[in-house]
């Protein structure tokens, strides 16, 4: 049984729906949800967005807490941060939704040219309700060049690289020149000079580069729970 709790400054107002929650009864705003299971209660917070076309979406992800997402072509500093909380992933794994998307201003890219480094990203696949680790396979190839990055629409990860000398198509990276389906970023772990990192030492190498870019101020993921018919006086959701 789902329990939805509207969040107020000093109190929580709850209502109970037998069987399953009627998403069409929810108004736009922050909510707390509780799923009662034989193993115990599972709670999570989300923001409800109702749109002009009658869709009801839940929003997860940080806003205004990311002042240190300011790395551009960073080649030395290690940086790790969670983006979606474990409770978010638990909720996304349990909920039944019909569509998903990402709204963010984040730019992310990871580059390895004649190098290898243990940077990795943990992503949640909303189509399969599972997480996966995305990284470059270990390589000591002086001709190698690989870059994976968020696509321009921020929905997917794209991989590019040197012909025949790249890490695309392995370790959950898409094939060279292609993109994944929609993925949600769960954690990022940037480590351009980490343990077991490698740089080519041949004299004829023109460029060696192990770097990452991670810049932005918010990261929101949306899942659609219901379509309740046309509404009036509502706007399509937007983030900034």
CA 192-193-198 angle, 5° bins: 100
Which stretch of 11-20, 93-102, 194-203, 205-214 has the lowest confidence by average pLDDT? Answer: 11-20
Q: Confidence band (pLDDT; 50, 70, 90) for 89?
A: very high
Closest to 211 in 3D by CA, of 114, 70, 107, 76 = 76
At residue 112, the pLDDT reads 97
pLDDT of residue 205: 81
Q: Report residue 98 CA to chain centroid gap.
A: 18
CA angle 79, 83, 87 (to 5 degrees): 135
Query: What is the 3 state secondary structure string of the chain?
Result: CEEEEEECCCCEEEEECCCCCCHHHCCCEEEEEEEEECCEEEEEEEEEEECCCCEEEEEECCECCCCCCEEEEECCCCEEEECCCHHHHHHHHHCCCCEEEEEECCEEEEEEECEECCCEEEEEECCCCEEEEEECCCCCCCCCEEEEEECCCCCCEEEEEECCECCCCCCCCCCCCEECCCCEEEEEEECCCCCCCEECCCCCCCCCEEEEEEECCEEEEEEEEEECCCCCCCCCCCCC
Please say whether the beta carbons of 151 and 164 come within 8 A.
no
Radius of gyration of the chain (CA): 21
Has residue 13 got a pLDDT over 70? no
Cα separation, 69 vs 80, whole angstroms: 10
Please check the confidence at residue 151 and state whether its pLDDT lies above 90.
Answer: yes
Burial class (CB in 10 A: 0-12, 13-18, 19+), 14: exposed
Taking residue 47's Cβ as centre, other Cβ atoms within 10 Å add up to 18
Which pTM value belongs to this model? 0.85
pLDDT band at residue 192 under the 50/70/90 scheme: very high
Is the model's pLDDT at 109 over the cut of 70?
yes
| 29-47 pLDDT, tens digit each | 999 988 777 777 778 899 9
Q: Residues, the chain, total?
A: 240
- pLDDT confidence of 102, banded at 50, 70, 90? very high
Q: What is the average pLDDT value for the chain, to the nearest integer?
A: 86
* Number of neighbouring beta carbons within 10 Å of residue 234: 16
């Amino acid at each position: 049984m789902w329990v939805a709790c509207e969040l107020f400054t000093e109190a929580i107002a709850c209502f109970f729906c037998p069987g399953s929650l009627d998403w069409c009864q929810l108004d736009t705003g922050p909510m707390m949800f509780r799923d009662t299971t034989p193993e115990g209660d599972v709670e999570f917070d989300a923001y409800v967005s109702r749109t002009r076309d009658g869709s009801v979406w839940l929003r997860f992800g940080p806003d205004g807490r990311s002042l240190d997402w300011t790395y551009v072509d960073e080649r030395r500093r290690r940086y790790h941060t969670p983006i979606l909380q474990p409770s978010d992933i638990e909720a996304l794994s349990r909920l039944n939704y019909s569509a998903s998307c990402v709204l963010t201003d984040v730019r992310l890219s990871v580059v390895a040219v004649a190098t290898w480094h243990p940077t990795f990203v943990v992503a949640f696949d909303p189509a399969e309700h599972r997480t996966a680790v995305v990284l470059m396979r270990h390589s000591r190839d002086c001709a190698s060049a690989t870059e994976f990055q968020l696509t321009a629409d921020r929905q997917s990860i794209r991989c590019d690289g040197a012909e025949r000398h790249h890490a695309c198509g392995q370790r959950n990276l898409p094939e060279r020149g292609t993109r994944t389906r929609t993925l949600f970023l769960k954690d990022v772990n940037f480590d351009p000079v980490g343990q077991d990192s490698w740089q080519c030492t041949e004299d004829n190498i023109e460029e060696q580069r192990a770097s990452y870019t991670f810049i932005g101020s918010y990261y929101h993921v949306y899942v659609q729970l219901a379509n309740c018919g046309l509404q009036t006086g509502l706007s399509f959701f937007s983030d900034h």
